[in-house]
Amino acid sequence: MSRIPANTIERLSLYRRLLERTADLGRTDIYSYELASMACVTPAKVRRDLMNLGCIGNPSRGYSISELIGNVSVLLDSDTPREIALVGVGNLGRAILSYFRGRRKNLQISVAFDSDRRKTGRIIVGCRCLSMKELKKTITERNIAAAILAVPAKAAQETADKLVEAGIKGILNYAPVPLRLPDHVFAENRDMTTALEKVAYFAGLQE
C-alpha cells in the first residue's frame, strides 16, 4: 500500500462525509473546485488528495461521487467492522460515547473501561462498561486495534501501557499529557488545553 500523508487521510474522512450528503441530494459527479469549496480547502489540494487515493476524474464531468466514496471506504474502513475501546467514562468519556452513538457503523465504540466500581458492569450511553481488570483480556480476545483515552492526566501513561500490552495499535488521546509509546503504536493527541491556548494565541495576534 502506497504512502498516503496523514493530512490527506484526515481530509479524505471529511470528503467522504461531504460526498455522502451530496449524493443524498441526487448528484452523481462533482468537480474538484466544488468539493474544495465544501471542505474549505483549495481545489489543487483536493485533486492531489484524490490522486493519492487513486481516483481519476474526467475533465467534462469531474469525479464520480460513488467511486470516491467507495475508494475512501476501502481505504478507511476495514472489511470487518472495527471495534473501538474507550477508556475513562467520566464527563468527557460519556460525551464521546454519546457523540459516536449511532454514527458510522463501521467504526463503533463497542466497549468501555473505567476504574470506578459504580460504573463497571453497567451499560452507559449504550455501551457496556467493564473494569480495568478486564481490559487486557477483552481487547486481546476481540482483537481491538484502536482506543480512545479519556482518563485524568495522572492515569494516562499507565493506562496507555495497559492498552499497548493488550495489543492496541492506535490511541486517540484526550488526556493533557503526551504518551510514551513504542514505535509501532500510533497516537493522536487531542489535548484541549493546548488547543485552547493555541486558538487564544492566534485570536490575539490579529487585533
Q: Cα 175 to the chain's mean position, in Å?
A: 16
Q: Is 173 in the site for DNA (CB under 7 A)?
A: no
Helix (H) or strand (E) holding 35: helix 32-39
Q: Which of residues 110-139 bind a second copy (CB under 8 A)?
A: none
Q: What are phi and psi of 128, to 5 degrees?
A: -65, 130
**Distance of closest approach, residue 170 Cβ to a second copy, in angstroms:** 3
Q: Which of residues 53-112 bind a second copy (CB under 8 A)?
A: 75-76, 78, 82, 84, 91-92, 94-96, 98-100, 103-104, 107
**Distance of closest approach, residue 35 Cβ to a second copy, in angstroms:** 12
Are 176 and 151 within 8 A, CB to CB? no
55, with CB counted inside 10 A (0-12, 13-18, 19+), is: middle
Q: How far apart are CA 64 and CA 188, in angstroms?
A: 32
Q: Is 51 in the site for a second copy (CB under 8 A)?
A: no
Among a second copy, DNA, none, the one that 66 touches (CB under a kind-dependent 5 to 8 A) is none
Q: Which of residues 49-108 bind DNA (CB under 7 A)?
A: 50-51, 55-60, 62-63
C-alpha cell at 121: 458492569
Q: Is 40 in the site for DNA (CB under 7 A)?
A: no
Residue type, 46: V
Q: How far apart are CA 117 and CA 121, in angstroms?
A: 8
**Distance of closest approach, residue 25 Cβ to a second copy, in angstroms:** 15
- Cα-based torsion angle of the residue sequence 160, 166, 167, 172 in order, rounded to the nearest 10 degrees: -30
Binding region for a second copy (CB under 8 A): 1, 6, 9-10, 13-14, 17, 38-41, 75-76, 78, 82, 84, 91-92, 94-96, 98-100, 103-104, 107, 145-146, 148, 168-172, 176, 178-180, 184-186, 188, 190-207
Binding region for DNA (CB under 7 A): 5-8, 31-33, 41-45, 47-48, 50-51, 55-60, 62-63
